[in-house]
Amino acid sequence: MSSKEMFPSYATVCGWNALLPPRSISSPPSSWKKYDFIVIGAGYTGLAAARQLALLKPELEILVLEGSVVGEGSSGRNSGFLINVPHNTKMSGHDAEIEFAKKQIAILNSGKDWLKSLVDEHQIDCAWSDIGKYHGAATLKGERGIRQLADELKQWGISSKLLSKDELEYRIGSPYYRLGLHSDTNVLVQPAALIRGLADSLPPNVTLAERCPASSLEYKKGEYTVRTLTHNYKSNAIILANNGFAKNFGYLKDRLITIYTYAGMTGELDDEHLNALGADKEWGLIPANRLGTTLRLTQDRRLLVRTEYSYERPENLFKVKEILLKSVRHRYPEFNDYEFAYVWGGVTALTRNGAVYFGQLGPNIFASVGCNGAGVLKGTIYGKLLAESILGIDSEELRMVVSLDKPTWLPPEPLRKVVVGAAISRFRRLAGLER
């Protein structure tokens, strides 16, 4: 397997990262040094696990390997929504299920609180904005889904407000939606700035190596050898925090798939175009259908749109750009002559039942992978709890996470590609005007 297949390789720069000043890249340390832990992946999960191990055990030496550059990798390429309610709940209103959802919310809120404490402590300038989010429904089916969501939020003890077509149009400027909902269950951030700040504030007993993709793992006589393109390292223990790419080391191959999603971002908007985006000067909206269009107006006057999916391999970005522009122009005719300053893709990992794999994979090798598109808060708290689990630190949160379902089996290739491709096509048709 080529080294490029061991981590995501992107054709275009991440728009979020391109807006930031150049950053000094952390070079790999000398070969053959031995570490107490090697963490593969410098995303939210990997950095959280490394940080917590280092804070709890300052005598440990920890190496974090990142195939890309922090900020250009997958963790900097999302839409910057830190959603603190569970996905894939399938609630039926039973008391036990409601209490279960509340516990999941408490875990995600714990992740949010820890993340905010790190942002404050290290003065990470990531445009943290605790303003919640909008949901928008462009179809009758989507409207029913939003009303059901409002009922679920009420059962979970979370306040929300349904918005009429006119009310939502006033706030975001578009008459495209039939119904809206606003809830406080979200923080907006500049994701590349956040992940860079977390990487640059790691404890001193953590070494970060960028552009240093792990290409193979070898376990022999109680010790791991990790080989990269240019260096080799040894360790007593490994943490896989590389999401769907864990399967390229031979783990969870029948549990994980990788999906690419795509975003476009405008340049800084002039007053005319900014005023077309409603009374709110910063907002984020997610669609009623999972394959619909996500929108965001940033603090620095840029419109972001995210939609479209592809399986395992990136889509042609010229085609993607046209799909993204079409989504914007349907919602905002004022942007018919507007182009994006940046268009990029990012990869996430899905499991069949929406569950994360969390725990031990083999002798002294551990993982938290399969974020299912909700990785910032989930990755943060799961990484922290994984470190505590490895060190034998018990907690109610950890017991809760361990009790959750594991990812279920996926069919092998080429059947898997056919099944997933058919599912994506079906969801596109069902999304209809939500796209």
- Ramachandran category for residue 137: left, alpha or beta (phi over 0 → left; psi -120 to 50 → alpha): beta
Q: What is the pTM of this model?
A: 0.96
Could you say which DSSP state residue 382 is in?
A: H
Cα separation, 323 vs 320, in Å, equals 5
Q: Would you state the pLDDT for residue 4? A: 43
CATH architecture of 25-128+189-255+352-404: 3-Layer(bba) Sandwich (3.50)
Confidence of residue 378 (pLDDT cuts 50, 70, 90): very high
Beta strands per DSSP E along 14-121: 34-40, 62-65, 81-83
**DSSP β-ladder status, 81-83 and 186-188:** antiparallel
> Check: CATH 3.90.550.10 for 133-184+258-351?
no
Distance between CA atoms of residues 271 and 259, nearest Å? 36
- 177 contact partners, CB below 8 Å, separation of at least 6: 136, 137, 138, 165, 168, 169
pLDDT at 361 over 70: yes
pLDDT at 253: 94
Cβ-proximal residues to 296 (8 Å cutoff; 6+ apart), any chain: 79, 80, 81, 188, 283, 284, 285, 303, 304, 305
What proportion of the chain, given as a percentage, has pLDDT over 90? 86
Q: Where in the chain is the domain with CATH 3.50.50.60?
A: 25-128+189-255+352-404
What mean pLDDT is predicted for residues 159-187? 97
Q: What is the rounded average pLDDT of the residues 381-388? A: 98
* Residue 427 pLDDT: 82
- Least Cα distance to 257 among 176, 179, 394, 354 occurs for 354
Cα–Cα dist 263/321, whole Å: 8
Cβ atoms 61, 35 nearer than 8 A: yes
Q: pLDDT tens, 363-376? A: 999 999 998 878 89
Examine the pLDDT at 3 and tell me if it is beyond 70. no
Q: What is the pLDDT of residues 301-349, one digit of tens each?
A: 999 999 999 999 899 999 999 999 999 999 999 999 899 999 999 999 9
Residue span(s) of the chain under CATH 3.30.9.10 come to 133-184+258-351
